[in-house]
Structure 1
């Protein structure tokens, strides 16, 4: 099974996300990550969905998704030619005896310290999903107090621009 990223341009209206998730569920597809935001057209949202499957399965879900009335366009991104990012906010316990080693790891990954409080810090890291996974692995010896991760957003490199069927 290969991880694939779909970009959907959808109506910015209530119930659209529910219908898309229901379709994925009915077809037996797991959504690994989903992000959604309004585009430069206020009535259109860009949804990025990460799923996995073989080529036949991915082709099927693209075709089925494109049939939904609220969908304007569906694009399957080329995994070899994309910029993908994920955002992690992490609240970590930091005691005087381990704070330096914690800050060394934070520095190593280029994470930003967004808040320092008595007993801990909040960091922000935006990077490829694999780098965030590695950061979490490296920091696992520290007590994580809270974690929030956005999910993947992605765009193909170069001058190729997806069209939105308005």
Structure 2
């Protein structure tokens, strides 16, 4: 029996209205959960790169790939090999501080390689770009603090090495 794992899929899709809705609707109709989703235009303005994190065993993931590949707006679907990729999430967080805990908040942030963007009298604003597990650990380390505001981008990724999964798609379009 296959083990359920967190998986990262990259889809190259038409950059047009309604595509994101059709893909998320397909996931919903098939009972697939989307943990995170990010989408942005590629170097070809008519193509977007969508990164979707879902959880499932091999059978589940193969079904997701087959179903999304059938959509006319989807040019390709790739399962990211996490051992051969850079996978990152971005966190922006505003933490309530006072004179007695300001140093501790800065020390925790520094230990997670966070970037302090703003220090006010009553709050500190931090940016961390890291794998999701590191960000989760940072937020756990802040459990004694009051988080005033938090925003996460969701996962994005890029494959290591010279292999470029979207090169055929990009070569077929004019800039």
- How many residue pairs were aligned? 166
Superposed, 1:80-159 pairs within 5 Å as 80-159=83-162
In 1, distance between residues paired with 2:66 and 2:162? Answer: 25
Q: Does residue 1:35 correspond to 2:23, yes or no? A: no
Which residue in the other structure is 1:76 paired with?
A: 79
Structure 1 segments, 4+ long, off by >6 Å, are none
For residues 116 and 81 of structure 1, the distance between their equivalents in structure 2, rounded to whole angstroms, comes to 37
Q: Could you list the per-position Cα deviations for residues 93-135 of structure 1 after superposition, in whole angstroms to 9, with x for gaps in the alignment?
A: 0100111111110111111111122301110000111110100
Stretches of structure 2 that go unaligned for 5 or more consecutive residues are: none
SS in 2 for 1:95: coil
RMSD: 1.0
Identify which of 61, 67, 72 aligns with 2:70: 67
CA deviation vs aligned residue, 1:19-72 (integer Å, no higher than 9, x gap): 000000011100011001000000110000000111011001101101101111
Residue 10 of structure 2 aligns to a residue in which SS? strand
CA distance in 1, matches of 2:53, 2:125: 27
Unaligned runs of 5+ in 1: none
Counterpart in the other structure of 1:50: 53
Between the aligned partners of 1:17 and 1:37, the Cα distance in structure 2 is 11
Secondary structure of 1:80's aligned partner:
helix
Moved more, 71-80 or 89-98: 71-80
TM-score norm. by structure 1 comes to 0.97
Comparing 111-120 with 37-46, which one deviates more in the overlay? 111-120
